Amino acid sequence: MGNIAILCSGGDVSGMNPALKRFVEYSFEKGLTPYFVYHGYEGLIDDKIVPAGFKDVSGIITRGGTKLGSARSKRFMEPEYRRQAYENLKKHGIDKLVVLGGDGSFRGMDKFYHETGIQFCGIPSTIDNDINGTDYCLGVDTALNIIKHSVDAIRDTAGAFRRAFVIETMGRDCGYLALVSAMTSGAEMCLIPELEYDLERYSDCYRKQIAAGRDYFIAIIAEGVKINGVKATDVIVDWFEKEIGFESRATVLGHTQRGGNPTVYDRLMAYKFVTYAIDGLLSEHTHSVICYTKSHFTYKSIDEVTGSRYQLDPALLDLARSEYQQVLCPLPL
């Protein structure tokens, strides 16, 4: 029935390797010949395109990252390099492409489709969980679990030393990781780009709590938050020491959030995402993105996905406002 390829673009996430395994197995099941493209769109341009078999995916389901490697390609933005990528795919007889990536990767692929007719299906893959149209992106569950383990471990030493710990998560301008982690770890403070905050309210509440016996604090901050143009993590560390009178430490989790053994949920979602992607390409969905909303999968056009900015679930934000924005202190102020 033809040749089909898969590539990873942008930041790597745990869940990509399980997706590659399912891609090879399901391609064969549907009568397709699977190909791997190494190093994202750069690999398309440089013809790093090779047939894939069962041996290539043996044992990779437990590994984070991606066997294929990934990249952000500036060259793919230029027409001459997209033509070169098209010639490489044509040489291998490939007319269908599955792309594991984010918003920018899908925009590039949409342009490529309209120029060449190469069919594609995008699978949202970013721990930031900031792709419009989908409630879930591949890799998010593993990232949240890594954050959970880190926060739980830090809480032990925070209590032992009577300290405040300020923990910075990834997420750029999206506060999903920070918010969900704060709510599920019982953090006392959470700052995200989507919500306003009032440090004075925190200050009043925390002093009251300290007087009643509280002896440590956990604050979780999204990396994109700034206070007066300064990284919020640094500001809050200083604020805890000067305003609250607590010795404070910063922990930037950084790229630990991208790696690690994929959780059962991310493995399952990888399986489902790839199945829907290949089924879509074999039907009428020639240039779409697989989105997961309200517990079911849908095919959405690239314009639906990239045309609007992702927004956090309003119900989740309402919970966050009551917990962190209003700072409803359990003790009278």
Q: Where are the domains of the chain?
A: 3-139+262-306, 141-258
Domain spanning 3-139+262-306, CATH class: alpha beta
Question: Given this chain, do its domains 3-139+262-306 and 141-258 carry the same CATH topology?
Answer: yes
Q: Which of 330, 292, 316, 294 is nearest to 179 (CA)?
A: 316
Q: Directed axis angle between helix 140-161 and helix 176-185, to 10°?
A: 50
Say what the pLDDT of residue 172 is.
82
Give the pTM.
0.90
Give residue 315's pLDDT. 75
Residues designated catalytic: 128
The CB density around residue 322, as the number of other CB atoms within 10 Å, is: 11
If we measure between CA atoms, which residue out of 139, 187, 143 comes closest to residue 169?
A: 143
Nearest to 60 by CA among 105, 8, 106: 8
Nearest-CA neighbor of 222 among 261, 293, 159, 171?
A: 171
DSSP 8-class letter at 133: T
Per run of 10 residues, the mean pLDDT along the chain (length 333 residues) is: 93 95 97 97 97 97 94 92 97 97 91 94 95 94 97 90 93 92 94 89 89 92 93 95 93 94 96 95 92 85 78 76 58 39
Which is nearest to 87 in space by CA: 44, 121, 39? 44
C-alpha–C-alpha distance, residues 271 and 20, integer Å: 9
pLDDT of residue 330: 47
Whole-number pLDDT of residue 91:
97
In this structure, are residues 284 and 187 in contact, taking their beta carbons and an 8 Å threshold?
no
Closest CA to 139 of 97, 184, 176: 176
Q: Which fold has domain 141-258?
A: Rossmann fold (3.40.50)
pLDDT for the residue numbered 42: 96
